[in-house]
Amino acid sequence: MTATPATVPRSALRLPGFRAFFLTYMLGMMADNIEHVISYKVAFDKFDSTALAGFAVISHWLPFLVGSVAVGALNDRYDSRRIIQLGMCGFITASLGWAYFFLTDSLQIWSACMLLILHGCSGVLWQTSSQMLLYDIVGPENLPSAVRLNATARYLGVLVGPAVGGGLLLLLGPTKGMVANAVFFTPLLVWLISAPYGKKFRKAGATQLKRAVRGLGDIVQTLKDIRVVPVIGIMLILGGGASFFVGNSYQASMPEFAKDLGQQRGNVLYFMLLAADAAGALIASVLLETSRKLLPIAPRNALKLSLFWAAALCAFALNRSYPVALLLLFIAGFFELSFNSMVQTIVQINAPLESRGRVLGLFNMASLGLRMFSGIVVGLVGSVITIHYSLAISTTCFFLVMVAMILRTRARYLNSSAGSAILPEPSTARSSA
């Protein structure tokens, strides 16, 4: 098998196109979280409905579970820029819809559910298509840096969004706050109008086959396609396992963790728990971006980093010291960004060119869609045996599954040249696997 020559990777931020993508993506992610803060606060104050809270989680992740591969198939046929713009229009419509119902004081359960569904569907149009477009913007040699920085933009949006949302709610009120929030989605929408990236700008011979969008059939066909690239299957199990067993359910349960750690006073110390996790991820991004030889991109390294992440979260779940909890969450955030960005890069580079959109959609179905079940695995079980033990058991189960994966695949793939730090081009991986 032949591999591409080793090159010294450089930061994707040196590329003007990626800088524009990075900034507009971060603004969009911030707006995504601002909408959550304002809409959840007003809707749940109005209805005091636990069922609506549960529906909000389901409506956010279910579209990723059932629609990611279909959106990926659309990206294989159509311009990714226009699909992202469709998602941005959905977000803007949802924000303005909330503003209308807040202004007229006419919000009902059914209308809140419709807006939550629209928001979730907009998210799957955006995320899967963004990953597709990212490769076109930076190319394979800059992809590791771009994926890592894109994950950093996501964390920045998640970290800053709630603070900005709370400020808009206090300063402008819910109606004007939602109108202002719609503005944050527009830079990405406008930039993509003429951004010179996507399938129509690819070199001759790099176009993809125009297969029909077939729903469930696409999932089956994509699974068949990736059998010739074993590393993608390994990364799907890794991403799906992390999503199913843990996901972001522990973040939703952070108020309970803060209370059990003796931090009942105010929200500052509770926010510090969330900030510690995000800070660890940001530090990981900076270190990996400035010291790119620190963690070579390889399937084995991704699996090992996920084990460290699970161990840190398990220790956090069983810990009863607040300072130690901050340290463990920082460590968990560091390893989470490290292995997640590595997994995404490996999938991106090895995805067969003719079905790249479907493969990325399948990855998002596993790594994002399965998060819907982590609320059951961690949250619901936690209501019976406490959140501490449920998180510890979930992370332990994930740990054991990954250990089994390492032991099973070591001889077959992880020690082969395809699992090295220099990964082959998509077409090479497909033909030589």
pLDDT digits (tens, 9 = 90+) for 203-253: 644 445 555 455 566 677 777 777 777 888 888 899 999 988 888 777 767
Whether residue 159 is predicted with pLDDT greater than 50 in this model: the reply is yes
214-433 matches 11-200 in CATH topology: yes
Instruction: Compute φ and ψ for 305, nearest 5 degrees.
Output: -60, -35
Whether residue 139 is predicted with pLDDT greater than 50 in this model: the reply is yes
Model confidence at 324, pLDDT cuts 50, 70, 90, reads very high
Query: Would you list the DSSP string of 51-110?
Result: HHHHHHHHHHHHHHHHHHHHHHHHHHHS-HHHHHHHHHHHHHHHHHHHHHHHHHT---HH
User: 116 with 59: CB under 8 angstroms?
Assistant: yes
User: 35 with 91: CB under 8 angstroms?
Assistant: yes
Contact residues for 257 (Cβ-Cβ < 8 A; gap 6+): 250, 273, 316, 325, 387, 388
115/97 Cα distance (integer angstroms): 7
For 93, other C-beta atoms within 10 Å of its C-beta total 16
8/50 Cα distance (integer angstroms): 52
Instruction: Compute φ and ψ for 338, nearest 5 degrees.
Output: -60, -50
Residue 397 is encoded by which pair of tokens? 């189960």
Superfamily of domain 214-433: MFS general substrate transporter like domains (1.20.1250.20)
4/425 Cα distance (integer angstroms): 7
Task: Work out the average pLDDT over 380-404.
Answer: 86
pLDDT of 419 = 40
Model confidence at 287, pLDDT cuts 50, 70, 90, reads confident
Query: Would you list the DSSP string of 295-314?
Result: S---HHHHHHHHHHHHHHHH
Residue 284 is encoded by which pair of tokens? 């990981």
- Where do the domains of the chain lie? 11-200, 214-433
Give me the count of residues in the chain.
433
**Domain 11-200: which topology?**
Growth Hormone; Chain: A; (1.20.1250)
